[in-house]
Chains A and B, each alone.
Chain A
Amino acid sequence: MNIVLELYGLIAIGATALAITRTIPVHGLLYLVVSLLALACMFDELGAPFAAMLEIIVYAGAIIVLFVFVVMMINLGQPDQLREKGWFAGGAWIGPGVIAALLMGLLVYGTQRSTMAVGTAGTPIGPQQVGLTLYGPYILTVELSSFLLLAGLVSAYHIGRRIGGKS
């Protein structure tokens, strides 16, 4: 039982709950960054320092910055925030809240029913071991993810190609 891990988990849960209830996108993004940093600390605590660094560099450093760029470019106005406040006021949270709570209860029950004892939590798994596994048995997956990234690049370029030409 490691109290530090639960502390980071509480920070991540609280920051995520704040992030999905903001009306201003930039505030939500900043809370999401806090949640990602807490998750990176959890990864490090779980013996995965390479994943923790990747979480900070790629998630908080690249993907969230992409979100921030989009928020800066689209210049959201006041009507959006008024609409969002209207959504918050109503009972729109009840049905999805019940569904999400059911999902959470079922998943907690399913994961805790099987007795998963603390295994041989020995030394952390370093980047060398991860690299050997990644380019050994998982080489086909690496190729497939390169296909996926290429497809994402081409489709993002295709979707956004006429933005510059317009206006």
Chain B
Amino acid sequence: MNAADPNGALIVAVILFSLGALGVLVRRNLLFMLMSTEVMLNAACLAFIAAGNRWHLADGQVMFIMIVAFAAAESAVGLAIILRMHAAGRATLDADTGNRLGG
């Protein structure tokens, strides 16, 4: 029943990582840049799970839990910075205007 192929999952992970990198490079909206970072972290998770399936070890899922904790901390800080920028009176989320953050 469980004859899943880790190679296909690795290819999917690579494509997802490239899509996330493309999103970070292209988009200038801070919210979309954070979302693309989440996509890249998910691709790393998928690679870990695929490797854990290949070697039949639980270490892949342990690393997945670590990545989830890291993603939660990262998105919390990033979204707090976005809210702070908005409260400082910026009408746009354009990353090119981030140098006006100030304190």
Query: Chain B interface: which size bin?
Result: 35 or more
Whether B60 lies near A48 (C-beta < 8 A) is yes
Whether B5 lies near A25 (C-beta < 8 A) is no
| Residues 114 to 155 of chain A near chain B (Cβ within 8 Å) | 116, 118-125, 129-130, 132-134, 138, 141, 145, 148-149, 151-153, 155
Please name all residues of chain A whose beta carbon is closer than 8 Å to the beta carbon of B83 when the two chains form the complex.
70, 73-74, 159-160, 163
- Give the interface SS of chain A, mostly helix, strand, loop or mixed: helix
Whether B4 lies near A121 (C-beta < 8 A) is yes
Give chain B nearest CB distance to A59 CB in angstroms.
Answer: 7
A103-B18, A149-B73 are known contacts. Are A74 and B2 too (CB-CB below 8 A)? no
Chain A residue nearest in CB terms to B64: A51
Mark interface residues in A72-101 (1 if CB within 8 Å of B CB, else 0): 011011011001100100001101110111
Cα–Cα distance between A45 and B23 once the two chains are bound (Å): 27
| Residues 62 to 103 of chain B near chain A (Cβ within 8 Å) | 62, 64-66, 68-77, 79-84, 86-87, 91-94
11 contacts between A and B (CB under 8 A): A25-B32, A28-B32, A46-B6, A50-B61, A63-B72, A107-B14, A130-B62, A141-B66, A152-B76, A157-B80, A167-B87
